Amino acid sequence: MVAKILVVDDELELERLILQRFKKNIRNQKFEFIFARNGKEALETLAHEVPPVDTILTDLRMPEMDGLILLDRIKEIDETLKAVVVSAYGDMVNIRTAMNRGAFDFLTKPIDFRDLEITINKTVEFVTETRKNRQQLRQVRDRLHQRAYSDELTGLANRNAFLDRLQVCVDQFAENPEGLFAVLFLELCRYRMVKYSFGHGLSDRLLIATAKRLKTCLRSTDVLARLGADEFAILLQNIRDDREVQSIADRIHEAMKSPFHLDGSLLFSGVNIGIALGNLGSTQPADFLQSADTAMHYAKDPGNSPTAFFVPAMQENALWRLQLESELQQAIAQEELHLNYQPIIFLPNHSVSGFEALVRWRHPQRGRVFPSEFIPLAEETGLIVPLDNWVLWRAGEQLNRWRSQFPQFWPLSISVNLSEIELSHPSYLALIDRILTENFLSGCSLKIEITERTLMQQSSQINNLISQLKTRGIQLCIDDFGTGYSCLAYLHRLPLDIIKIDRSFINGMETDSKKLDIVKTILTLAETLGFQAIAEGVETAAQLTLLRSLGCPYAQGYLFSKPLEEPAVASFLTAFSSE
């Protein structure tokens, strides 16, 4: 590399000597010399020279701007650059003054050229080293910055970067409320399930693929960020109105519709989108993200549209959920949960074949909290895993007690509801085995209810698990049948045992011929496929008569009994058997 040396001297003498002395070196391209006549010219040269000057040789006494002032001002242009003073006035005062102003060395005229060459080399080396260190430092700083502001997995902006961009947007909007913006909070559906069933590798690839799809729905000026595990955020600027935002959200849903082909697996996902518009009335970026998040939770409710615009009333609901979540966590730890048992009746001989375990939460302040309120929340937060584990344990222990308590009613079975997430948990089978062994139960006394929606996920993991359960004699029951979208061909392939006809078809079947037709069809289907059928939610004698006449083998519902507290089970069994 050629070192660039700036020689600052008003006497042409120095220039001439240097050129003469370094001629050989100039040809070798070790040094390139450029010249200035005084400090002022030198500063101008420094400001424009590319690549930059590596070392300065400067005289002290010069017209317009002397060497001392030049020494002072070099750092304004380049902090790494060093100057060597070459002066005829090499007395101590001058040397000290120059050194105090940042001179790297001091040479006296007449010049000893060997000395000069050594000094130039030394100075260039020092400057080069300093610059190299600085550059490395800058690179480290850039990398740290990159890490602090981008998401490593997807390469998208992260939360910090998103909030920074949002802050700019919020400030601009405060000055000019014309340019509306919107913050979209997105959550990927079924991410947790994919992570538990297929592992990190695949769930990571799902996130990367999602990021790619989201990008295709956005303009280059929109900001897309990944906030956390399965959460993304989008900042849309300069939008006309909420209709425009809605159409972008629609485009995103459309893009997410087709399945992801990842590692030979076909994965269906989707997103729920919450939206906060720029006219929220806050100046804090975090408020926009929070509001969009709140709206996203609203959108996530199964009954709602997958896109929701934030309105203040959602906040109350969000607070309530937040509190409920932490309380539920405690409830599982402190055993505030307990089980109720609803009998399942075998119709042909009017006997109790078993019970369905239904979880209950006796909240110290709120009183009874129903599963419809906390199961969806537990599924969302992952708390469903410890919850369902707890239910399995309790159900197993209970059945073991009943066996010694009610030999006259034996065999009884117990049905347990399990969520998709629990089912995909890696340690699930081991848990079942422990529960069966420790309670001396055979698999055939345990039934597992899975909703139709879960089964239709078609994951090889769930299929594999089902066959593992079968080898243990555990019966599988498809819950809420008729409410999902079962593919009949698929149903046929699954080694299921029981279909539970959803209570929405039983309720009103006496008067509504359509419902009656559906019940008939499901019963025929069950028979054809060799499944047993349980009618859920039987409330009236008329429904029971109809079901009997249709040959439905099992029924469950308030007509026989509401879900019972444990102590009431004994008297129910006795009373029922003497009916």
Taking each helix axis from N to C end, the angle separating 371-381 and 384-405, rounded to the nearest 10 degrees, works out to 130
Of 197, 417, 454, 475, the one binding ligand C2E by CB under 6 A: 417
Dihedral through CA 54, CA 60, CA 61, CA 62, nearest 10?
A: 10
Check binding of 509 to ligand C2E (CB under 6 A).
no
Check binding of 418 to ligand C2E (CB under 6 A).
yes
Of 342, 400, 424, 532, the one binding ligand C2E by CB under 6 A: 342
Which 226-255 positions form the footprint of ligand C2E (CB under 6 A)?
none
Check binding of 375 to ligand C2E (CB under 6 A).
yes
Rounded distance between C-alpha atoms, residue 43 and residue 66, angstroms = 11
Residue 359 partner contact from Ca ion, ligand C2E, none using kind-dependent CB cut-offs of 5 to 8 Å? ligand C2E
Which window, 18-26, 255-263, 382-390, 411-419, contacts Ca ion (CB under 5 A)?
A: 411-419
Beta carbon nearer to ligand C2E, 271 or 432: 432
Of 233, 245, 296, 359, the one binding ligand C2E by CB under 6 A: 359
Q: Which of 566, 504, 577 is nearest to 538 (CA)?
A: 504
- Hey, how many other C-beta atoms are within 10 angstroms of the C-beta on 80? 18
DSSP secondary structure string, 412-442?
-EEEEE--HHHHT-TTHHHHHHHHHHHTT--
Beta carbon nearer to Ca ion, 250 or 480: 480
* Residues in a beta bridge with 7: 35, 57
Q: Which of 315, 360, 318 is nearest to 342 (CA)?
A: 360
Check binding of 569 to ligand C2E (CB under 6 A).
no
Beta carbon nearer to ligand C2E, 231 or 388: 388
Q: How far is the CB of 500 from Ca ion (least distance, A)?
A: 5
Check binding of 388 to ligand C2E (CB under 6 A).
yes
Check binding of 9 to Ca ion (CB under 5 A).
no
Which window, 206-214, 416-424, 485-493, 566-574, contacts ligand C2E (CB under 6 A)?
A: 416-424
Of 105, 293, 327, 479, the one binding ligand C2E by CB under 6 A: 479
Indicate the helix (H) or strand (E) that contains 81.
none
List the Cα angle 562/564/567 in 5-degree steps: 155
Of 410, 440, 490, 558, the one binding ligand C2E by CB under 6 A: 558
DSSP secondary structure string, 352-401?
EEEEEEEEEEEETTTEEE-HHHHHHHHHHHTTHHHHHHHHHHHHHHHHHH
Rounded distance between C-alpha atoms, residue 312 and residue 252, angstroms = 25
* Residue 452 token pair: 């139709």
* Residue 578 token pair: 């003497």
Which window, 92-100, 421-429, 467-475, 535-543, contacts Ca ion (CB under 5 A)?
A: 535-543
Site size toward ligand C2E (CB under 6 A) is: 23
Which residues, 6+ apart, have CB-to-CB distance to 510 below 8 Å? 516, 540, 542, 543, 546
Check binding of 419 to ligand C2E (CB under 6 A).
yes
Indicate the helix (H) or strand (E) that contains 282.
none
Which 446-475 positions form the footprint of Ca ion (CB under 5 A)?
449
Check binding of 391 to ligand C2E (CB under 6 A).
yes
Beta carbon nearer to Ca ion, 396 or 563: 563
Rounded distance between C-alpha atoms, residue 120 and residue 125, angstroms = 8
Of 176, 216, 258, 372, the one binding ligand C2E by CB under 6 A: 372
Query: For 113, how many CA atoms within 13 A lie in the half-sphere containing its CB?
Result: 11
Beta carbon nearer to Ca ion, 347 or 357: 357
Check binding of 557 to ligand C2E (CB under 6 A).
yes
Site size toward Ca ion (CB under 5 A) is: 5
Beta carbon nearer to Ca ion, 271 or 378: 378
Residue 9 partner contact from ligand C2E, Ca ion, none using kind-dependent CB cut-offs of 5 to 8 Å? none
DSSP secondary structure string, 151-206?
-TTT--B-HHHHHHHHHHHHHHHHH-TTSEEEEEEEEETTHHHHHHHH-HHHHHHH
Of 15, 336, 480, 566, the one binding Ca ion by CB under 5 A: 480
Check binding of 358 to ligand C2E (CB under 6 A).
yes
Asked if 206 and 260 count as a contact pair (C-beta separation under 8 A), the reply is yes
Check binding of 417 to Ca ion (CB under 5 A).
yes
Looking only at the bridges linking them, the beta strands covering 265-267 and 260-262 are antiparallel
Check binding of 371 to ligand C2E (CB under 6 A).
yes
Q: Which residues contact Ca ion (rule: CB under 5 A)?
A: 417, 449, 479-480, 536
Interface contacts to ligand C2E, rule CB under 6 A: 342, 358-359, 370-372, 375, 384, 388, 391, 417-419, 449, 479-480, 503, 537-539, 557-558, 563
